[in-house]
Amino acid sequence: VVMLQDPMSVAARYLTSWFFIDVISLVPWELIYVKPLVEQQKRRNFFQKSFGRSKAVIRVTRILRGRHFKMFGRVARQTKTYANFGSAKLLNRIIRYAPKYWMFYKNMRSIILVRTMRQLNSLSKVGTNFYAFCKDDRPVEVDEPEITEDECQSTKRFMYGSQTLRRRKRMVVRMMKTQKARWVRSMSSDRDLTSVPEDQVFVDGSQEDYEDIIDTDTYYDDTDFR
């Protein structure tokens, strides 16, 4: 996310993005256009409400005469089965819904324009943020926190435990080692491991790595780790 702290940059960004839309939104369009239409609709009688829509549809269908109907007929004749519809049904659907879409676009083109501008602005923001994220790849230096003596001692006690915990860990390691050796002898079919002593069979790593693990005097050192 790009954060602008300069007042001039913020003002320039606002003037080039949402300023004009906010200015247009200050005008009471609902009182100028919507309210007269609502009042006009309320004053209509039953016959005007019933035949007004048909009259509007007839006005729109005048635009679709001639070439448009020929084009629709050509599409219907060339399309025998389209979405489980025959040619006659397809032509009927086109003639029925095309005027509705035309009226919708005619009445809602201002809203479509505003939504298109919003989408373009959103896409520009996404592109700007992505470019800034890819460009700003410098490492950030972070200061290491200071650890006190009490915190260091608490950390060492938590990590290494007491002498009893060390003995338990040694016992668990020996038990895992013995169990692994028995499992290898019982499940191995490629080679004969019955002659391998238990002390030479390890779970992972070599003899030196394993000795480093069980060497608690070296692993659990009480030195200062700061």
Choose among 204, 223, 224, 200: nearest CA to 213. 204
Q: Residues 194-203: pLDDT tens digits? A: 454 545 444 4
Question: What pLDDT is stored for residue 14 in this prediction?
Answer: 82
Residue whose structure tokens are 């919708």: 104
Give 207's pLDDT tier (boundaries 50, 70, 90): very low
Give me the residues paired with residue 82 across strands.
85
Structure tokens at 221: 């050192």
Q: Residues 44-55: pLDDT tens digits? A: 776 666 665 555
Q: Is pLDDT of 101 > 80?
A: no
The Cα-based distances of 30 to 21, 26, 106, 133 in angstroms read 16, 11, 18, 42
Tell me, yes or no, if the pTM score tops 0.75. no
- Give the CB-side neighbour count of residue 65, counting CA atoms within 13 A: 7
Q: What is the dihedral of CA 96, 99, 101, 103, to 10 degrees?
A: -140
Question: What pLDDT is stored for residue 92 in this prediction?
Answer: 73
Give 118's pLDDT tier (boundaries 50, 70, 90): confident
